[in-house]
Amino acid sequence: MTCRVYTRNRGYATAAAAFVPWVSWAAVGGLLAHRLATRNPDYEVGKDIVKKRLYVTYKK
């Protein structure tokens, strides 16, 4: 079984990095690399830092 662990609402961090162009490209590159490395997972675990919750989603 495989799983992908990610931080929910990470798009806000990517949007905030838009003010510093090289940081935003590095952030987008990191997100894409993570998606490719953990492609087709059985479960996704989303960490919500603001609400302090975990969300587990069965994908198969």
Question: Would you tell me how many other CB atoms lie within 10 Å of the CB of residue 24?
Answer: 16
Those residues whose C-beta lies under 8 Å from the C-beta of residue 23, and which sit 6 or more positions away, are 17
pLDDT in tens, the chain (60 residues): 888 888 887 766 667 667 777 767 777 788 788 888 888 889 999 998 888 999 999 988
Domain count for the chain? 1
- In this prediction, residue 6 carries a pLDDT of 85
- In this prediction, residue 57 carries a pLDDT of 94
Predicted model pTM: 0.65
Phi, psi of 42 (to 5 degrees): -80, -40
Those residues whose C-beta lies under 8 Å from the C-beta of residue 13, and which sit 6 or more positions away, are 27
- In this prediction, residue 58 carries a pLDDT of 96
**Per-residue CA distances from 22 to 15, 17, 30, 59 (Å):** 13, 9, 12, 33
- In this prediction, residue 46 carries a pLDDT of 92
- Domain holding 53, by residue range, is 3-58
